[in-house]
Structure 1
Amino acid sequence: MTTEAATERRAGRPRSERAEKAIVEATLDLLAAESGVAGVTIEAVASRAGVGKTTIYRRWPNKEALIVHALAAVKRPLPEPSGGSVRADLLQLASTLGAERKRKHAKCFWNVAGGAEKYPELYARYRHDIIEPRRAVIRGVLSRGVETGELRADLDLEVGVTMLIGPLTTRPPGEGLPDGYAEAVVDTLLRGIGAPPE
């Protein structure tokens, strides 16, 4: 590769990164709008991001793949808890889930979940790629709790996961949680699923 070609390649990478960032932001902005998923089209994203449609199609085969990628960019996997105690781990996870509600693009996830019936393939991919890995982290904490005897031996892990996530995610997007709410959710849950005293 010539020095000139190498320089062009290095110079092209930032432009590519800028284009991808603009595409993701445009997708999220459209998804958060009142029209939700219906308002996200490749044409609309391209126009808003200031790129050509071919630039988008080179990266994503369709709008569903683009939307899931954009959501993954702002809804990263939950942190792996320290493993100190079930209560400490669940409180860390609950606090993380609660803090996400204040983020700029919180409404995007609300719109995707709300459009599950109309866009089942999109929702299935969103759940598989983004939601399930997060549930797996919580499931792991509960499973360890059963093994250590902190939680009931007959605990249904899926029910436990849903019982933690539900109170933290069903409020309207953008609405913060009251002080101490995450802790109250965890402690209330543990009163039901904690191992009975000997």
Structure 2
Amino acid sequence: MTDSMTTRPPGRPRSERAEKAIVDATLELLAEETGVAGVSIEAVATRAGVGKTTIYRRWPNKEALIVGALATAKAPVPPPVGASAREDLLMVARALAAGRRGPHGRCFHSLLGSAEKYPELFARYRQDVIEPRREMMRAALRLGIERGELRPDLDLDVTLAMLIGAFGMPASQEALPPDYPERVVDALLRGIAL
């Protein structure tokens, strides 16, 4: 009798190397001047050195592929650990700063610039990538409110806009100073702490 935990699904096992090549190719194409318009299953397959069926086994269409690649490239926002509001917000700020490095910054600006032409793609990106990250940030703020460190009347969405905006405003190619996350959080706390 075979243990169901050790039985793999039928078919060829997924290649992590192929998946990485597909994600990398998608991000490279998205970061280029043509942006979303330059990403096609054919172009990704060619650049990644895989067949189109390898891509379609993982992602049903171009939009899912782009959102999946962007989700992979984003630095995860850690859940709040509850040591203090400042520590939780610093973890968020460091994740936001890390998200600016690599191809994601250019890719995001490409996607943002194409939002009007590809509204379904941008809506899916917001739903699948941005909103779960924002919810982790809201959780950190709620925890700070519950602990009595942050103002009880805090507008979570406005606070998030201020925090996120601090990392989106500098030019995407500009390197942030190492202490930038701490400076942002400390400035923000001066306005939202009790």
State the TM-score, normalizing by the size of structure 1.
0.85
Are the equivalent residues in 1 in contact too, given 2:31–2:103 (CA < 8 A)?
no
1:125 correspondence with 2:106: no
1:65-101 per-residue CA deviation (whole Å, 9 max, x = no partner) reads 0001111111143112321110111112112211222
1:77, 1:133 within 8 Å by CA — same for their partners in 2?
no
Contact 2:93 2:163 (C-alpha < 8 Å) held by counterparts: yes
State the one-letter code of the partner of 2:184.
Answer: V
Q: Deviations over 1:124-168 (max 9, x none)?
A: 111111111111111011111111211111111111111111111
Quick check: 1:153 aligned with 2:152? yes
2: CA distance between counterparts of 1:103 and 1:50? 22
| Displaced runs of 4 or more, over 6 A | none
Q: Check if 1:96 corresponds to 2:95.
A: yes
Following superposition, the deviation at residue 106 of structure 1 comes to 2.8
Whether the 8 Å CA contact 1:31–1:108 is kept in 2: the answer is: yes
Superposition map of 1:68-79 within 5 A: 68-79=67-78
State whether structure 2 residue 82 is matched by structure 1 residue 83: yes
Range with greater deviation from structure 2 (57-66 or 166-175): 166-175
Which segment drifts farther, 49-58 or 142-151? Answer: 49-58
TM-score, normalised to structure 2, is 0.87
Unaligned runs of 5+ in 1: 1-8
Partner of 1:67: 66
How many residues get paired? 186
Report the equivalent of 2:142: 143
Counterpart position of 1:108: 107
2:45 is matched with 46
Paired letter, 2:141: L
Give the distance between the partners of 2:37 and 2:109, measured in 1 at CA.
Answer: 14
| Equivalent position amino acid for 1:36 in 2 | G
2:116 & 2:106 partners in 1: Cα distance? 17
More helix by proportion, 1 or 2?
1
Aligned to 2:133: 134
1:178 is aligned to: 177
Output the CA distance in 2 between the equivalents of 1:153 and 1:21. Answer: 44
Task: State the partner residue of 2:34.
Answer: 35
Q: Verify the 8 A CA contact 1:103 1:174 in the aligned structure 2.
A: no
Pair 1:13-2:3 in alignment: no
Does structure 1 residue 26 correspond to structure 2 residue 25? yes
CA RMSD of aligned residues (A): 2.1
Taking the aligned partners of 1:104 and 1:51, their CA distance within structure 2 comes to 21
